[in-house]
Amino acid sequence: MNLSLPRAARRGLAHEAADVIRTAIFAGDFAPGAPLREVELATALGVSRGSVREGLTLLEREGLIRGGWHRGTTVIEVTPHDVEEVYAVRGALDRLAAISAAANPQQLAPLDELVDAMATEIAGAASGPRLLALDIAFHDHIYDAAGNQRLSQAWQTLRSQVYLFQMHRVAVGYEHYRDRVIDEHRQLAVLLRSGDHETLGRCAEEHVNSARRNLLAHLSA
């Protein structure tokens, strides 16, 4: 396999290798279930096999890839079981993050800017990957505004899997995603300032469950 990937900016750094490989996975260069071979990656990135090995270990901790002594390293697959697990955990985390962030309304202005950027994107070319990047940035900011370091760490542990699953959701059900992405995020932005924590928590969880149901429907089709 002749890979063409951007070379790591600094040789020998595991984090740099992990960043490039992660970006390639999110770009679809490595599909779910695709093998990741150390020798090929090291050659393509211009780093040592040891750096690639360490980088892959970082990605495995994120849940983005799977590996073992008796099998090769592969990108995780999008299975109904994994979707159920990831979205169940994400729903609980997003609920807590939203309620916690509501206590810091002065930090929520960027959410409106991100929703406006989604609207601009849809009014133009409406790129699925670009919309997804704005979507994830919206939730990143909620976790930042929540001001809970351990909650943010839990989100970072799950974030790569969520990104990959949402990427697959956009690929197989783009119209469903496009038609809901603005309204659902604008509703969350409004509720975060409303003081109605019960409705906010319920909406945050339903936002996740809607994505889960849509993705599962396409997986079982």
Please, are residues 8 and 43 in contact by the beta-carbon 8 Å criterion? no
Residues of the chain with pLDDT > 70, as a percent, come to 93
**Per-residue pLDDT tens over the stretch 16-40:** 999 999 999 998 899 999 999 999 9
pLDDT at 11: 46
What's the pLDDT score for residue 7?
Answer: 64
Range 177-187 burial, b when 16+ CB lie within 10 A, else e: bbeebbebbbb
Report pLDDT digits (tens) over 70-125. Answer: 678 999 999 999 999 999 999 999 999 999 999 999 999 999 999 999 999 998 87
Give this prediction's pTM.
Answer: 0.88
- Average pLDDT for residues 35-48, to the nearest whole number? 93
pLDDT of residue 41: 95
Is the per-residue pLDDT at 54 higher than 90?
yes
Confidence category of residue 126, pLDDT binned at 50, 70, 90:
confident
Higher pLDDT, 147 or 124: 147
Are 59 and 173 contacting, i.e. CB atoms less than 8 angstroms apart? no
